[in-house]
Amino acid sequence: MQHGQYTKKVLDYFKNPKHAGDVKNASGVGQVGNPVCGDMMKISIAVKDDRISDIRFKTFGCVAAIGSTEALCRIAKGKKLADAKKITSKDIAKELGGLPGIKMHCSVLGADGLKKAIDDYEKKQRGKKTRK
């Protein structure tokens, strides 16, 4: 790996994230953090026809944390919820062309944040059904 153990893709996603920000009127939001390293991630999703139609992130963290969250967004956008739930830290690291071992926890956080956002969306949907 080049550049202090980061691939060119990690650095590109860090410098030029296309999914930074919040989804307006988000269908679901997931927040995760790692108190040890200080990384914090907020993932917001829009769901249409059981697919992730939009996904955005706000990440406070290192190069690997921001790059991992951008990679997650690129993988998840357009996926059915059932498939998006199956995205793992290995999928994120693979999209990035690898991560240094000491930074793998960043990709785990991203996958966990997406699962929390989907859970939030599903809870809201169940709430709507019980209110009818």
> Could you tell me how far CA 1 lies from the centroid of its own chain?
23
Nearest-angstrom CA–CA distance, 85 and 56: 16
Integer angstrom CA distances of residue 93 from 20, 49, 77: 19, 28, 17
Per DSSP bridges, beta strands 28-34 and 51-60 are unpaired
Domain boundaries, the chain: 8-119
Integer angstrom CA distances of residue 2 from 8, 10, 25, 98: 7, 10, 39, 11
Domain 8-119 has CATH 3.90.1010.10: yes
The position carrying tokens 């953090």 is: 33
* In the chain, % of residues over pLDDT 90: 77
Q: Look at residue 9 and tell me whether its pLDDT is greater than 90.
A: yes
Q: What is the pLDDT of residues 28-66, one digit of tens each?
A: 999 999 877 788 999 999 999 999 999 999 999 999 999
- Residues recognised as catalytic: 37, 106
